[in-house]
A and B are shown apart, each in its own frame.
Chain A
Amino acid sequence: MSSPLLEVKDLQVVVGEENKVLLDGLNLTVNAGETHVLMGHNGAGKSTLMSALMGDPRYTVTRGQIIFRGQDITHETADVRARAGMFLSFQTPEEIPGITLESFLRTAAGAVTGKPVKVMKFRHEMAAQMEALNMDPSYADRYLNVGFSGGEKKKAEILQLLMLKPALALLDETDSGLDVDAVKTVASGIKAYHNADNALIIITHNAKILEGLQVDYVHVLDDARIVRTGDGSLVNEIIEEGFTALKEDEAK
């Protein structure tokens, strides 16, 4: 059996000058081809885990390890992790005036592959992916996320996912703020990305974005750690009954 794509071992993460503990003793293993869903109430630590995995400098790992593709990346910077094959779809993507979406994506593609990007081939692929995501082609020439609606920003994140083809995609509430049609479009984009060689970790409060995906594991975060792991059916159980009912069941 091949080694896991991602192994998180006994992870402790703190933030701020007072070293507030946001994750403590968290363990998680993700294999290629799998889809994992993170659920939990607001403030449970879901986004913190995504940020810590991606190497957000605001968070400090004070214990444990993050092993990605056999490499200890616990203290590596975000760009090293990205070049190793990790990708985070941000909940609130940044606006970068002065750099067009296409220019940025080409620069990023060159950075993650370490190879020069063939412009025409890249443009054709990008145009096709934008069409699949129902994105107006003019967005390619607009400054990155500047003046984009919330939905267009999320689509731009999925466009980056499709173009950069990472081994592990971390999707932090990519469906939030999207209308029904946009959720379907984004979900189809995620499905198009996913294959046996890559893996997904998805934070969501909504089952719609998971349509068409085979969810292998659902993890419930609470009190800075994963308190329960189940199969895909746990998503609907939580959506229907809520986290409080789940905790009460656990207590019984």
Chain B
Amino acid sequence: MNSTMNRLPVSTWNPLGVNYAPASAALPGVPAGGWAKAAALSPALPAGVIAPTEADFAHFAESGMGTEADSWLAENANLVNHLAVSGTADAPVVFETKLDADHPHALTYLTVDAAAGSSLTVVQVVRGDAENGVSANLTRIRAAENAHVILVQVQLLGNQARRWNAVAIEEATSARVEQVRIELGGAVTACGTRAVLDHNKCEYDLDAVYFGSGSDVLDFNDVSVHTGKDTLCEMHTAGVLTGHASKILRGTVDFQRGAKRGVGHESEDVLLFSPNARNRTAPLILCGEEEVEGQHAASVGRLDENKLYYLRSRGLSEAQARRLMVDARFAPAIDKIPLADLQDEVRENVAGRLNDELDG
């Protein structure tokens, strides 16, 4: 199913294989015995945040993974949470899930309803590993006028589990949603975010990083749709590919009619540590309005030898220098994690994966 998951909004030459996610990244089949029961998520809620038992997101915009995937994720979720915020939450709401042999399936569905002028940070962390493990997530964010929502997603899975992560965002006037997406593990990682900026002066920012190794399959589809005036999106991704990992990133800034003075910047910086790793980047800027500014940039390659030499001339071993260069690329995303311990955990996780790579 979901043969057109993570679909590029406008198809390109099909033999490139980037129009939608490969079959190897398709959503999982439901196990014969159904999904394993997952431990309920009951995060501490700061003042101004409530967790209603129901939320009306029935007619919500699709995620970057597409309507079909969204429906599947919502219907199959074994962990459902709703958040509503009014005012400024003075602490992040943290959801932590862990896969293990007894809990191999975590299919989460989260809605965030941010009232006008409110401010909230949500952190989603998934750790652990399990044979045939599944970590699937659908997050829907409704940001009302002047609301500010920060969504921090940290995925630290092992190399057996598979991961799907869909995010859908609707923003009202002058709202701002920032997403930090850190995807470090998983044999399969498929993510897609779509932000609908159909009100004036709203903004969407994405800082994403990924690490692909072994025979990992990574597939991303991030879309910012602009129809309001003076809207802004900044979508920036950095990644490392080693082994035989294969990755596709589609990044689309879609300026539709009416998006006057819209600005959209997207970039990707990929480090290839193996000649067998495969990278495909498909940046797309669609202009249905004349008075807009769209930029895309992609950098793919090995570590700059001159920079490596410079670092080594200061006493850093080759491994230290390579780690530093990767840290540097990942820093903009990791620095936005609001929890110092989690920042350290992510850095250590990256270092561990690099050590595995550098030590062969």
Contact = CB atoms under 8 A, between A and B. Distances in A.
A108 interface: yes
Contact of B327 (A55, A58, A79, A99): A99
A98 B317 contact: no
B290 interface: no
Contacts of B314: 79, 82, 104, 108, 111-112, 160, 164
Interface residues of A, number: 28
B51 interface: no
A66 B48 CA distance: 68
A78 B317 contact: no
Interface in B297-324: 304-307, 309-318, 320-321, 324
A158 to B, nearest CB: 14
B307 A79 contact: no
B358 interface: no
Contact of A96 (B309, B312, B328): B328
A78 B312 contact: yes
A56 interface: yes
A54 interface: yes
Interface in A184-201: none
Given A94-B310, A96-B328, A98-B329, A108 B318 contact: no
A25 interface: no
A111 B315 contact: yes
Nearest to A79: B312
A107 B316 contact: yes
A249 to B, nearest CB: 37
B115 interface: no
Contact of A56 (B309, B316, B321, B332): B309
Contacts of A160: 314
A93 interface: yes
B292 interface: no
Q: How large is the interface on B (under 10, 10 to 19, 20 to 34, 35 or more residues)?
A: 20 to 34
Given A107-B316, A111-B317, A98 B332 contact: yes
Interface in A173-228: none
B315 A108 contact: yes
Interface in B83-101: none
B238 to A, nearest CB: 9
A90 to B, nearest CB: 7
Residue from B306, B307, B328 having most chain A Cβ neighbours under 10 A: B328
Contacts of B307: 94, 96
Interface in B318-341: 318, 320-321, 324-325, 327-332
Contact of B320 (A94, A97, A98, A107): A107
Interface string A102-127: 00100110011000000000000000
Interface in A41-97: 54-58, 77-79, 81-83, 87-88, 90, 93-94, 96-97
B265 to A, nearest CB: 16
A13 B229 CA distance: 61
A181 B327 CA distance: 36
B220 to A, nearest CB: 21
Nearest to B238: A98
B309 A57 contact: yes
B146 to A, nearest CB: 30
Given A57-B305, A94-B307, A99-B327, A111 B316 contact: yes
A108 B309 CA distance: 13
A25 B145 CA distance: 74
A83 B309 contact: no
Contact of A98 (B304, B306, B328): B328
A164 B315 CA distance: 10
Nearest to B311: A96
Nearest to A86: B313
Interface centre among A79, A90, A94 (most CB of B within 10 A): A79
B316 A108 contact: yes
A188 B224 CA distance: 53
A83 B315 contact: yes
A56 B311 CA distance: 11
A78 B309 contact: yes
Contact of A99 (B309, B313, B324): B324
A88 B317 CA distance: 16
Contacts of B320: 79, 107, 111
B306 A94 contact: yes
A94 B317 CA distance: 17
Contacts of B311: 96
A93 B321 CA distance: 16
Contacts of A104: 314, 324
Given A57-B305, A78-B313, 10 more contacts: A56-B309, A77-B318, A79-B315, A94-B304, A97-B328, A98-B327, A99-B324, A111-B314, A111-B317, A143-B328
Interface of B: 304-307, 309-318, 320-321, 324-325, 327-332
What are the 3 tightest A-B residue pairs by CB atom distance, in nearest-first order?
A: A98-B328, A111-B315, A112-B315
